[in-house]
């Protein structure tokens, strides 16, 4: 039992747990920003391609 309590005390005093948590939060924020940027960029690219498609259809002989 003393061994378990000793390990638990060492774990709680260790800086590894909070550091890992900070890195996990930072990674989650980076992923959220990346997904938002990619989504926004994807919508912009989709708009550009839609405009190009519309203009091509206006040209005689365009599909």
The pLDDT assigned to 62 comes to: 62
Quick: pLDDT tens for 2-43.
Answer: 788 888 777 777 776 678 788 999 999 999 999 999 999 999
The pLDDT assigned to 20 comes to: 79
Contact 56, 63 (CB under 8 A): yes
Q: Determine phi and psi for 18, rounding to 5 degrees.
A: -65, -35
HSE (CB half, 13 Å, CA atoms) of 60?
A: 0
Contact 22, 16 (CB under 8 A): no
Quick: pLDDT tens for 44-57.
Answer: 999 999 999 999 99
The reported pTM is: 0.55
Query: Could you give the CA distance from residue 63 to residue 49 in angstroms, rounded to a whole number?
Result: 14
In the chain, what are the domain boundaries?
18-58
């Amino acid at each position: 039992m003393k061994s378990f309590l000793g390990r638990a005390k060492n774990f709680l005093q260790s800086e590894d747990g909070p550091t890992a948590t900070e890195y996990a939060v930072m990674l989650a924020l980076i992923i959220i920003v990346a997904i938002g940027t990619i989504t926004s960029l994807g919508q912009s690219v989709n708009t550009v391609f839609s405009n190009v498609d519309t203009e091509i259809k206006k040209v005689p002989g365009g599909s």
